[in-house]
Structure 1
Amino acid sequence: MRYRILPKRIIVITFLPVMILAIFTTANASNNGMAAVELNIKPGFAVLSPADISITGKVTDEKTKSPIPGVSVKVKNGATTAVTDENGVYKISVPDAQTVLVFSYIGYDVQEVTVGNLKNINVVLKSAQANLDEVVVVGYGTQKKADVTGSVVRANLDDFRNAPTTNVANLLQGTVPGLNVGQVNRAGATPGISIRGQNTLGGNQNVLIILDGVQYNGSLTSINPDDIASIDILKDASATAVYGAQAANGVILITSRKGAIGRTRISFSTQYATQKPNIDLKPMARDEYLDHIKYLYYDEAFLAPDFTRPNPAFNLVSKVDASMKDAQGNLLPNDFSWYDEATKTGSIVDNQLSVSGGTDKINYLLSGSLTRNSGFINNDVFKRKTIRANIETKATDWLTIGLQSFGTFVNEDGVEPNFVDINLMSPLILPWDNNGNFKINPFNTNVVNPLLNYQAKDYDRHNYFFANVYGNVQLPVKGLSYKISFGNNYRLDFKNISNMYDANLTGQASKENTTYYDYTFDNLLTYNKAVGKHSFTGTLLYGAIERDNSYTRAYSTGFSRLTLGYDNLQQGTNRFAISNAWKETLNYQMFRLNYNYDSKYLFTGTVRRDGFSGFAENNKYGIFPSISAGWDISKEPFFKVSWVDILKFRVGYGVAGNQTTRYSSLANVGVSASYVFGDGGSTQFGQQVNSLSNPDLKWERTTGANLGLEFTLFKNRLSGVIDYYDTKTTDLLYSVNIPVITGFGNILTNIGQLNNKGIELSLNSKNINSNEFKWTSSLNFARNINKVVKLLGDLNGDGVEDDLPQSGLFIGRPTAVIYDYQVNGIWQVGEKIPTGYSPGTYRIVDQNGDGVINASDRAVLGSSAPAYRISLLNNFQYRNFTLSIFLNSVQGGDKSYLAGNTARLIRDDNSIRNNYLSGIDFWSPDHPNGKYPRSIVSATLNPPLFQNRSFVRLQDVSLSYKFSGKLIEHMKLQNLNVFVSGSNLATWTKWDGWDPETNQGLTNDGRPVFKGYSLGLNVTF
């Protein structure tokens, strides 16, 4: 099975009209906005004709409410123009009621108003720099976006809140250049997340998550997406340096919602969504299954020499496994779908309720949610209950205290049937016997009936508790404040299960408990000072983190009965217990200085010192500095480009660290069987050293430079950001093989160098911006490549840095390099085939031409990393309707974004019995152009076929309607909104199998990505 490919020229054609129209409309907007300047119209009133209608009004600023002098007021498609006076007042003549007035002023959005029956039209203009006036979270504080000197991006959540999801990470897919978020194929699952590619080999590769200022190590599934106000992404070293040693892979800052001053708001939302596979890929039905067995015996089922003519003497029934025949030796008549029996249409039911409000003394938010996500496989269920309380009060003029807290209770009870075994079960066999009982071994082999998992009693719960208590003190010195915060994370995991069919059908029951707790204690001193056009902000931090984990499992096997299941483990014949625990601590200090001159020249300098208990005694601490600067060129007197509203250049350079896992620098001791006292005597357990210590193990250091350009053009019709970054990671944490004569196989140490660079582009255009219809577009593009520069050095003494081919690491190549045999078609019947191969096996390229296929013929075939990522969001608004369409794509070119994807059949006992996915393009003598190998015997080497994973996905479509007018007033509502949406509605790719993004091809153990439709309602009282 395969998806339909969207050719590259179609992709180009898709994107081009949007950009051309954006440029065309922005150019028109620029010309219109310059009209007042070109005509040199002085502030005052236009000359009236006796036949004209006189219109007057006032133009004010949206935020300051102050009048704006010099605003151009023009009749659309006409010559009449006026300009507001020093009080923001204008007067203009129009020919009729259908006339449209265009209001434009440098630094503000252009606004159009239809005259209608109005004689007085007051207009409020919105600043074109509103996006730069936005306050973003930068770590231990906030800044206006205009003053940020690092690479900090706020994710667009508003356009995707209607998407059916249980995890906030899914809302980020493709929305921020450089932020890579994968797909999920299980209920409630968290996708993989990375920022700007790979900076390490053996160190931590996780993105740092900060929730309300506290490091968060819990699952993102524990966070209710509706409780989130904003998500900010720190990408470059100058931005992440405030988090030092743990920020080498980027930082995601999540800020929860607060109450706002004003009347109490009661908000309720509900949503129902369906979920089913986005591809129709199922196991073979009866006829195809029997045909598959026949072709495994093509040497008997067809006549020599070419094996394309059917052999009338061939007896297929004799080749079918005995488990699929009745007592008389006839094939069972069944055509049973194990797949349909084990699956269903999944769903998401999500209900949210919140109460918020506030005064000038206190603000509050109370929220709760109920979420149920049923996957398409039976018993793949995720249930979540959340409750949140965010309260902040200004206790005195100098003291503000607050609490940010939530509790999440996750239920994942139930064991789904083994999907691999579901796909390999024969359609000729039923899961039940004649008495309606489950068959234990349907094939009469050790393969157990996958539906037996339904008999398990499973209790799978995860409880998350989060609380951050803080106080902010305004000290007697003007501009000096002190903030103390104490953040707590507590998690309880319970996994209790019993099944009579486990432990080789003897029965097994277990209780498994995990307790995790961490705290973050921060002391923050901030000083703000402004002198004329100069402003300074100094931030001083001292903090500490401690993490504790405890695990216990008790289990028993050999039950005569499991009446009480895991609540009576002593009934088992064999009883066992396992436990472990760990603790780690960190402390850190940080100083940051921000300087701003007239919002034109910007500077940020940061130094952070980190200490971690997991590092060796000689290198407990690391120091990580950074420096960055910004220049708003558009504010310079000499810069007089009328179509450029904002042009800001920034540059940053800094060092981030990466830490090792706990205890990795120490000699670890393990427990194993050590002594046996006499023949048949008891075994005694002892302790032994399993790894070498390395007292000189130290922090990885990632040094990076970032160049950025932010711009707004054509009176805010087109805006964007371009970033280029280049990083270098040294002292890479890596487990190096050592001579076994030492008694150990490897040791963790610091080696080599890895370079990582890329470019990111974000464009936002207002293609149409009229009163009744608006069309905006957002285009994101990111390209990242890394390269191994150094490893272990020159081991051979030939003056050349040596590769590590056994680890897939090559000097001058990316870490994701693919080093393997190259396939060139399939050997055909009648060809001169080398020894060790047969018809239906892959033909391997003899790279060195010596006539022998061996390890020397492996070659670098490409890379598993993508060449670039691109996404396009179009948002259309007509009156109260809003339609958004989001396309997301990952592309690999010719030799990038490759992965092994080979469905292979070799005639043996299992392949004749097992079922496989339907519609696979297998080779046969009468189908010589088949893509995948099928042979009678196994070849000496069976390399994979590497396929391109490039795809274009229609990832999200949403249509909403916001009610207004008398209905809202009559119902006394603040907001009423209904919506329908769809996710993953179409995917165009050459990849064969489940999904290219999850890297699951034509294999029984894959799982599909979900396609879904949802219907929802949002209402605020």
Structure 2
Amino acid sequence: MIKRLSTVVLLGFIAGGQPGTAQVLAKAPQATGRSAFQADREARQQLALVLGALKDRYKVDILFFDRMVEGQTVSSDQVNYNLPLEENLKRILKPAGLDYKKSRSGAYVIIGRRASAKETSQLNPSGSGLPESPLTTPAQAEPVGETPRPTLARTEAAERPLTGTVVDEKGESLPGVSVTVKGTQRGTTTDAKGLYRLSIPETGETVLVFSYVGYVTQERVVGNQSTVDITMQADTRALEEVVVVGYGTQKKSDLTGSVVAIGKERLTQLPNTNIAQALQGSIPGLQINNNDGGAEQNDVSIIVRGRSSISASNAPLIILDGVPYTGGISDINPTDIASIDVLKDASAAAIYGSRGSNGVIIVTTKQGSKGKLSINYDGFYGTQTIANRPDLLTGAEFYAFKKGRANAPNTSMTPSEEAVFQSGQFADWYALATRPGWRSQHSLAVSGGNDKATFYIGGTYLNVGGIAKNDDYRRYTLRPNFDVRVTPWLTFSSNSQLSFQDRSGLPADFSGQQGANFMNPLTTPFNPDGTLTVYAWPEYNLAANPLAPTLARNINNVYRIFTTNSLKVDLPFVPGLSYKINTGVEFQTDVRRTYYGRNTRTGFENKGQATNFNGQQRNFTVENILTYSRTFGNHSVNLTGLYSSQSADEEQQQVVGVGFPNDVLTNFQMNTATLLTPTSSYSKQNLESQMLRLNYSYDGRYLLTLTARRDGYSGFGAGRKYGTFPSVAVGWNLAREPFMSNVPFLTNLKLRASYGLNGNQAVSPYQALATLATRSYITTSGAVLPGYVPSRLANEELGWESTRSLNLGLDFGMLGNRIQGSIDVYQKNTQDLLLNRIISSVQGFNRIIQNIGKTANKGIELAVTSTNLNRNGFTWTTNTNGSYNINRIVDLYGDGRDDQANGWFIGKPVRTIFDLQYDGIFRSPDEVAASPQKTALPGYVRIKDANNDGKIDAADRTFQGNQDPLYLYGLTNTFSYKGFSLMVFVQGVASIVKENPLVQDAVFIDVRRNTTRKDWWTPQNPNAGHWANDANANLLNINIYEDASFARLKDISLAYQLPATLVRRLKMNNLRFYVSGRNLATFTRYEGLDPEISNQLDIPLQREILFGINLSL
């Protein structure tokens, strides 16, 4: 809002009866029906009106005195909205003998050429605050030709003073905030400390309106309060949001590709310890799966817009501070992140052509800012419990289950089982292998700087005790980021991450046939002296104690250094031309030491077993970037050129020793082992790239992006190492067209279209070369000597997998951006797949990687953000996103045939399930007689005769469904009132099928392992839901598949931010407390361990409650 300070003139009283200036101005737009944008097309117009148009276009505050602009007019050709604001201000102010200054709050103050210090300070909102006076708005500018009239002074009723403080969401002062009494011309602005003072009527209901550029306008009923404090909520939609697009940034309004940004607001709403948690369910088209419930929570898979590859990687490329990052996305500390941008279509990802076909995730870390030193602390502690425990049989139930097993050759109890049953001391292995978990994190950051240099230094300590016994994880990270302006044309930047991860200790075993999930409850966990048994079931020496891994001496540490450094030179001899060199250096060292003593099965059978492992990874990146950016009238051009070189090498050394004289001499005395088996490996790969990108904009309405990238990869065949990946994208900002000015409810409307080619080289080095493997052989004299045998065929034609993508998009905003969103429709066609196909073994090889096969993905994505309510300090916002993706294999080997051995079928999804179909249970002899399963009995599994040939065999296999979801969705509702805020996040998937191993009765023919409690069929229970307790009931042991669609109450967070006045008494800038819950409820028909995790027989997913605090000084 433009604020004009009207002087109360005595002449107003003498003239009598004349309306005040503000009154006349308020009528102008109603009489003329013209907006500020329409008026600027006239030959001459008032300076006040032009300033109003500039305010609307550039989203800034502009402040001035009435007397400065009275009678001043501006020619229409003096304004060019494609130029920066300051250039337009110079054009229109200089002829009028005026100038401007920019305040610290971002407002522009109009002053005279020789403005007095007093006059400037009165207008500067970052100084002592504006004097209390009547205000007028841009809509109140005088119509052309109207004689300015003085403002009337009015006799006020009894008044009382009102004071308060305005802060942002971090509790920091907001200077220059407009505070007005609703329905009047009365108001003021906050001073440098965010304070304001105002006189209001003693009687009547007074409502204050708080407004500030970039924040949601709020209203507050005063009542009988003498102090009204308020926290302004950032309105990111009202700003020209800037997103990172790779090798630069762009205003969101100028984007032509499909890019989704996650800002710091979303990242700080929840106590996340890895990025995947923040992204899951927040971005349409982004599929994130947790593979288990381990303490580290970093075993995740990420897929953007469906699977393009069949056997090569589908993981997106990670860019950290401008440089490719080879570590896991979960290794990046979320506390240090400023923003995350996901590039999804060909145009957006084409700048990373060689690895952009699976999408790109760009992570940008926090930087320092000019101003006083800022200290921020963020910490939380929480507890974890099992989200869904399988309903396993107790010892007594298992005893009855085994005894009642029909058609089993041996259902008699072993002596140890009988002894446990008689004692009644049954083993609850699930309880023994789990514990109450915890998660705590402490982060401390210091930032600041001046005009010459800024810095951000953050340190974080994360400590997690998982719900699996002995599943511990600790992470220490340090992030020093610096920006130094060496000269006006030379800038140096350094961003580094140093981390140490401690995964020492092996968790209890949940996997396998004898893991905690299915271990026989009639077994013995402990010896009489309280130590763990080596064999929990003495008569069955394959039954290792699931708790035994916790006894192993294990060291597992990862040391990582990742640093990016850049030097930017603004070349003075060509305006708009700059050169930047980026370097990235990444070192990782893995150290693992494990010793299994004789108190474990592995150590007992090998007389002690030790493993020493050392691994090193090194990555080096150098990027030379040349950028030219200029505006010529209505034409804006940005040209970026790149030459990049990246090398990576990895080496590993491992030695395994067995046969130690005792359990005292372990990993550090490997020479005492009877047998040592050393292995080592080394690999190296190189990438070389050139890229050229052109961004063109005409009048901010018509947009064009052209990109071409050429990449070379050392791992491909000699003649196929290089690939070229072009793309084109166009955009049309319809909202900026003149004919759209008569559609007042539409704030933003932009059409986007892109088409391009991306590549994928996600195979390990040397895949194009023939390799040898070591094999030992025995000579005629009996000596054992090493030898070599061919292990892989060469393929000199191995080259790039490529994906052609078409994307059509629509961005929209309505009702002053209270509702905004985007819709994208896409088609991805991938060819020359890097396919690890099966071949005839007649040559001694059964597989080879070739460029063969095609896949396709097509879908639609929707994201909508709305402000549903904003009244009297209460706000309610909703963020919704959803996506629909169809994946299918188009071709495999060029002959139209399926590959049943690998489970690949033309026309079906990559992860389709092809198997025999469970068709319920035989309920009667008549049903058996009418089926092909003539030897079955009532209570047996019925298998569907899919081809109706009267027999059950492999030909009856059918498609059971897709293991990847057809639909993804997320819904976030945020409610805030005064200092309280409540966030509720629901995430889910639909149309997905998974195997449920817990339903199956795979207890072995002699009932060796436990099973879940079921509604077994018996003659007395013929309508049971599960087949009979009979070894032949599911003789073919067919898999059971279930609908794994789910909706999960993923997160709930309740926070309270203390009032600014109280916080300042505590000598702080901000103080916030919160409680958060994760995985609180899941709604699904899936009866397995959890519909989300990949391994249903591993550590279960955890539910957690966290308590946290944020404070800043």
TM-score, normalised on structure 1?
A: 0.86
Query: 1:67, CA displacement in angstroms?
Result: 4.9
**C-alpha displacement at 1:517, in angstroms?**
0.6
Matched, 1:175 2:175: no
Measure how far apart 1:926 and its partner are: 3.5
| Partner residue, 2:638 | 537
Q: Per the alignment, in what secondary structure is the counterpart of residue 370 of structure 1?
A: strand
1:66 aligns to 2:169 (yes or no): no
Structure 1: how far apart are the matches of 2:430 and 2:1108?
31
- Letter aligned with residue 869 of structure 1: L
**What aligned pairs does 1:297-696 form with structure 2 within 5 A after superposition?**
297=406, 319-326=412-419, 331-420=422-511, 421-444=515-538, 445-446=540-541, 447-476=543-572, 477-500=574-597, 501=600, 502-503=602-603, 504-639=605-740, 640-659=742-761, 660-673=763-776, 675-678=777-780, 681-696=782-797
Q: 1:708, 1:908 → 2: CA distance?
A: 55
Counterpart residue identity of residue 198, structure 1: R
Question: Are residue 843 (structure 1) and residue 937 (structure 2) matched?
Answer: no
Q: CA deviation at 1:283?
A: 3.2
Question: Structure 2 matches for 1:989-1000, cutoff 5 A?
Answer: 989-1000=1084-1095
- Stretch deviating more after TM superposition (935-944 or 489-498): 935-944
Answer whether contact 1:258 1:390 (CA < 8 A) is retained. Answer: yes
CA distance 1:974–1:928, shift in 2 (3 Å): same
Residue 212 of structure 1 is matched in structure 2 by 321
Which has the higher Rg, Structure 1 or Structure 2? 2
Q: Give the structure 1 partner of residue 261 of structure 2.
A: 154
The answer to whether the 8 A contact 2:406-2:1030 is kept is no
- Helix, strand or coil: the match of 1:422? coil
Amino acid in the other structure paired with 1:809:
W
1:243 aligns with 2:352: yes
Distance 1:448 1:124, change over 3 A: closer
Residue 835 of structure 2, aligned match among 734, 743, 762: 734
Aligned 8 A contact 1:837 1:940 in 2: no
* SS in structure 1 at match of 2:1022: coil
Q: 2:252 aligns with which of 101, 120, 145?
A: 145
- CA spacing shift, 1:745–1:299, aligned 2, 3 Å: closer
Assess if the C-alpha contact under 8 Å between 1:163 and 1:982 holds in 2: no
Instruction: Kindly indicate whether residue 1050 of structure 2 is the aligned counterpart of residue 955 of structure 1.
Output: yes
The answer to whether the 8 A contact 2:647-2:686 is kept is: yes
- Which protein has greater RCO, CA pairs closer than 8 Å, 6+ apart? 1
SS at match of 1:339: helix
Change (3 A) 1:497 1:435: same
User: 2: distance between equivalents of 1:165 and 1:936?
Assistant: 47
What is the match of residue 77 of structure 1? none
Q: What is the DSSP-based 3-state SS (H/G/I as helix, E as strand, rest coil) of the residue aligned with 1:161?
A: helix
Q: Is the 8 A contact 1:150 1:650 kept in 2?
A: yes
Contact 2:960 2:993 in 1 (8 A): no
Q: In the alignment, what sits opposite 2:12?
A: none
Aligned counterparts of 1:779 and 1:85: Cα–Cα separation in 2: 38
Give 1:743 shift. 3.3
Maintained 8 Å contact 1:559/1:572: yes
Structure 1 equivalent of residue 987 of structure 2: 888
Q: Is the 8 A contact 1:246 1:658 kept in 2?
A: yes
Aligned-partner Cα distance in 2 for 1:927–1:982: 41
**Structure 1 letter corresponding to 2:510:** F
CA contact (8 A) 2:468 2:1099 kept: no
- Change beyond 3 A, Cα 1:925–1:686: farther
Kindly indicate whether residue 210 of structure 2 is the aligned counterpart of residue 135 of structure 1.
Answer: no
**Which of 195, 198, 201 lines up with 2:304 in the alignment?**
195
- Give 1:764-779 correspondences, 5 Å limit: 764-779=865-880
When structure 1 is superposed on structure 2, of 360-369 and 825-834 the one drifting more is 825-834
Matched-pair contact (CA < 8 Å) for 1:824–1:845 = yes
RMSD after superposition = 3.2
Q: 2:281, 2:970 within 8 Å by CA — same for their partners in 1? A: yes
Q: Are residues 320 and 40 of structure 1, via their aligned partners in 2, closer, same or farther at CA, if it must alter by over 3 Å? A: farther
Question: What is the match of residue 904 of structure 1?
Answer: 1000
1:936-951 matched pairs, under 5 angstroms? 936-937=1031-1032, 941-951=1036-1046
Q: Report which stretch shifted further, 504-513 or 593-602.
A: 504-513
Q: Is the 8 A contact 2:231 2:978 kept in 1?
A: no
Read off the aligned partner of 2:268 and give its amino acid letter. Answer: R
Alpha-carbon distance in 2 for matches of 1:925, 1:123: 71
SS at match of 1:688: strand
CA drift at 1:938: 6.8
Structure 1 unpaired stretches of 5+: 1-33, 45-57, 70-80, 301-315, 795-800
Alpha carbons 1:906, 1:937 under 8 Å: kept: no
Determine the C-alpha separation between the residues in 2 that align with 1:171 and 1:590.
31
- Contact 2:613–2:653 (CA under 8 A) maintained in structure 1: yes
Report the alpha carbon displacement of residue 36 of structure 1 after superposing the two structures with TM.
10
Q: Which amino acid aligns with 2:459?
A: G
2:753 partner letter: V
Deviations 1:705-738 (A, max 9, x none): 1011001001111111101111111111213333
How far apart are the structure 1 equivalents of 2:227 and 2:422? Answer: 88
Aligned residues: 930
Aligned equivalents of 1:821, 1:131: Cα separation in 2: 56
Equivalent residue, structure 1, for 2:97:
none
Contact 2:1000/2:1039 (8 A) holds in 1: no
Deviation at 1:162, TM superposition (A): 4.8
- Equivalent position SS for 1:883: strand
Q: Deviations over 1:906-941 (max 9, x none)?
A: 675552x42233x33444444334444442237553
SS at match of 1:325: helix
- Given that 2:1049 and 2:1081 are in contact with CA atoms closer than 8 Å, whether structure 1 keeps it comes out as yes
**In 2, Cα distance between the equivalents of 1:410 and 1:127?**
36
How many percent of aligned residue pairs carry the same amino acid? 36
1:515–1:888 CA distance, 2 compared to 1 (3 A):
same
Structure 1: distance between partners of 2:270 and 2:214: 34
Q: Answer yes or no: is the 8 Å Cα contact 1:165–1:348 preserved in 2.
A: no
Q: Which moves more between the two structures, 261-270 or 748-757?
A: 748-757
Q: Which amino acid aligns with 1:189?
A: Q
Contact 2:350/2:708 (<8 A) preserved: yes
**Matches of 2:697 and 2:729, distance apart in 1:** 12
C-alpha contact (below 8 Å) 1:484/1:524 kept by paired residues: yes
Residue matched to 2:11: none
Corresponding residue for residue 293 of structure 2: 185
Give 5+ residue unaligned stretches, structure 2: 1-25, 37-50, 67-135, 143-177, 187-199
Corresponding position of 1:809: 904
User: What corresponds to 1:16 in structure 2?
Assistant: none
Over 3 Å counting, the alpha-carbon distance change for 1:699 and 1:922 in structure 2 is farther
How many Å apart are 1:664 and its aligned residue?
1.0
Return the match for 1:879 from 943, 965, 978. 978
